């Protein structure tokens, strides 16, 4: 009963418009006070929640992403892929998805990926006669790759909450990320091939391909440095974020000369706002999570799960249904910080690998990013295109089905997630 009351109170606070950080932190404080626990616990959580070396990677990855966004790097990536595959059936759709996948390896944010690639790709595709809802849905869904293909900000936060290896989580995201990219590409190619309704591009000359590739090479080099450096242990994810930020600054400021001082100021300001929001939510979630633990709610959930769900599949289906409903009302990071502390203790009793569950959870977060009413990527595409939100929603529905299909495949074949981490 206490569990349902606390969840109802939290949802009520969120529905009346209380910011997520203050809803979590305030409810946690109230729970501590009612039970007579010392409120100094909250102060301790305030400092311990931010005193984490891994969390430093979040503002650094965001800053790198914003600098690349302001520096127009997405245009170079899209141009390179367009030069190589633009003449294929639905070639611009394929180039858009490949650009999303590549940009995901250097930023860790779905919103930044959708905004950066969408700004370049959507006008190009609509001018070539591609169906508008399909185009909007393609870019919105492609943007979600930013939180699955590493580095990923939600995976960083998940690793902090669950104390799992960040390198293992990043490695685990590679297989599902590439599989999802391939599934999106196959669907898009078939849709364009049978649906027609677009003007094919002429094949680019080898010289044009070389020029486009050469212009995109510095960006590809940044991605390579970050990914390889993390995976072979040259530097930690936080150090990789710092190196990526420095490389992005050099690339856009000195090499391409597309980053002015005003653009840098805007990038820093946007990063500061987003970082403060994320870190405040982390602190609020720490306080709430500590209170929930003292109330023994995770133990109650575990007991309920083991009593009513005798097979992991049924437990996972119940979690999936809950997260799909919650995802209609909460943004992605809030879902992660509210639900993981409650669900995580039940994983061991169900025989679920925490790294595997982290990737599964992120896929459901991806679904939340493109489902109304609070799917952030929907609003990003709407802002970029000035389209009606109903058009964007109509376009993303097939991609939602593809994501849910992938989630089922991960359950049926967990090695898709775990084969790379197990090679460590």
Asked if pLDDT for residue 98 goes beyond 60, the answer is yes
Residues 6+ away with beta carbon under 8 Å from 403: 141, 144, 180, 363, 366, 367
**CB–CB of 156/120 below 8 Å?**
no
Helix locations, 232-353, DSSP H: 237-250, 261-294, 297-308, 312-326, 332-350
Q: State which H helix or E strand residue 160 sits in.
A: helix 153-162
**Residue-level pLDDT at 248:** 92
What percentage of the chain has pLDDT greater than the value 90? 37
**Residue-level pLDDT at 232:** 83
Select, from the ranges 200-209, 211-220, 227-236, 396-405, the one with the highest average predicted confidence (pLDDT).
396-405
**CB–CB of 245/63 below 8 Å?**
yes
Q: Where are the domains of the chain?
A: 1-423
Q: Which of 49, 22, 79, 118 is nearest to 384 (CA)?
A: 118
Beta strands in 98-253 (DSSP E): none
Alpha carbon distance 154, 61 (integer Å): 12
pLDDT digits (tens, 9 = 90+) for 144-199: 998 899 889 999 999 988 989 999 999 999 999 999 999 999 999 999 988 867 88
**Residue-level pLDDT at 302:** 67
pLDDT digits (tens, 9 = 90+) for 336-390: 888 888 888 888 888 899 999 999 999 999 998 898 877 889 888 988 888 888 9
What percentage of the chain has pLDDT greater than the value 70? 95
Does residue 217 or residue 233 have the better pLDDT?
217
Alpha carbon distance 180, 130 (integer Å): 22
Grade residue 36 by pLDDT with cuts at 50, 70 and 90: confident
Does residue 332 or residue 229 have the better pLDDT?
229
Ramachandran class of 257: left when φ > 0, alpha when ψ lies in -120 to 50, beta otherwise = left
pLDDT digits (tens, 9 = 90+) for 293-340: 777 776 677 677 767 777 888 889 888 888 887 787 677 777 888 888
**Residue-level pLDDT at 265:** 95
**Residue-level pLDDT at 7:** 75
Q: Which of 66, 45, 44 is nearest to 115 (CA)?
A: 66
Instruction: Report the 10 Å Cβ neighbour count for 275.
Output: 18
The end-to-end CA distance of the chain, in Å, is 44
Instruction: Report the 10 Å Cβ neighbour count for 164.
Output: 20
**CB–CB of 117/102 below 8 Å?**
no
**Residue-level pLDDT at 334:** 79
Question: DSSP state, 55?
Answer: G
Alpha carbon distance 372, 143 (integer Å): 16
Q: Which of 228, 279, 240, 226 is nearest to 51 (CA)?
A: 279
The stretch 219-232 carries a mean pLDDT of 86
81, two tokens:
């892929």
**CB–CB of 73/115 below 8 Å?**
no
Asked if pLDDT for residue 1 goes beyond 60, the answer is no
Alpha carbon distance 49, 193 (integer Å): 51
Grade residue 134 by pLDDT with cuts at 50, 70 and 90: very high
Question: DSSP state, 251?
Answer: I
Average pLDDT score over the chain: 87
């Amino acid at each position: 009963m206490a569990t349902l009351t606390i969840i109802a109170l939290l949802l009520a606070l969120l529905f009346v418009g209380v910011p997520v950080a203050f809803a979590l932190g305030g409810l946690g404080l109230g729970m501590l006070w009612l039970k007579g626990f010392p409120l100094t616990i909250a102060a301790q959580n305030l400092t311990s929640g931010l005193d984490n070396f891994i969390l430093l990677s979040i503002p650094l990855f965001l800053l790198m992403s914003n600098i690349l966004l302001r520096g127009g790097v997405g245009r170079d990536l899209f141009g390179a892929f367009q030069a190589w595959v633009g003449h294929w059936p639905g070639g611009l759709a394929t180039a858009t998805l490949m650009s999303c996948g590549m940009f995901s390896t250097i930023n860790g944010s779905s919103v930044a990926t959708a905004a950066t690639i969408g700004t370049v790709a959507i006008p190009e595709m609509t001018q070539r006669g591609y169906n508008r809802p399909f185009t909007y849905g393609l870019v919105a869904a492609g943007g979600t790759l930013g939180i699955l293909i590493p580095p990923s900000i939600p995976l960083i936060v998940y690793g902090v909450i669950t104390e799992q290896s960040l390198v293992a989580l990043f490695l685990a995201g590679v297989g599902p990320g590439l599989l999802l990219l391939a599934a999106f590409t196959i669907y898009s190619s078939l849709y364009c091939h049978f649906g027609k309704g677009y003007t094919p591009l002429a094949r680019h000359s080898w010289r044009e391909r070389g020029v486009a590739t050469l212009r995109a090479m510095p960006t590809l080099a940044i991605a390579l440095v970050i990914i390889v450096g993390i995976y072979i242990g040259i530097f930690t994810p936080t150090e990789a974020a710092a190196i990526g930020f420095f490389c992005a600054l050099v690339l856009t400021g000195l090499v391409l000369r597309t980053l002015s001082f005003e653009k840098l100021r805007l990038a820093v300001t946007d990063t500061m706002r987003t970082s403060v929001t994320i870190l405040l939510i982390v602190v609020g979630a720490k306080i709430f999570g500590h209170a929930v633990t003292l109330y023994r709610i995770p133990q109650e959930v575990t007991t309920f799960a083991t009593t009513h769900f005798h097979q992991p599949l049924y437990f996972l289906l119940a979690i999936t249904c809950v997260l799909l409903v919650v995802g209609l009302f909460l943004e992605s990071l809030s879902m992660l910080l509210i639900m993981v502390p409650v669900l995580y203790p039940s994983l061991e009793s169900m025989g679920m690998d925490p790294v595997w569950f982290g990737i599964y959870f992120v896929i459901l977060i991806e679904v939340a990013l493109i489902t109304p009413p609070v799917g952030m990527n929907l609003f990003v595409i709407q802002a970029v295109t000035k389209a009606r939100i109903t058009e964007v929603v109509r376009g993303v529905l097939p991609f939602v089905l593809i994501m849910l299909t992938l989630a089922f495949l991960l359950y049926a074949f967990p090695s898709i997630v775990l084969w790379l981490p197990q090679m460590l």
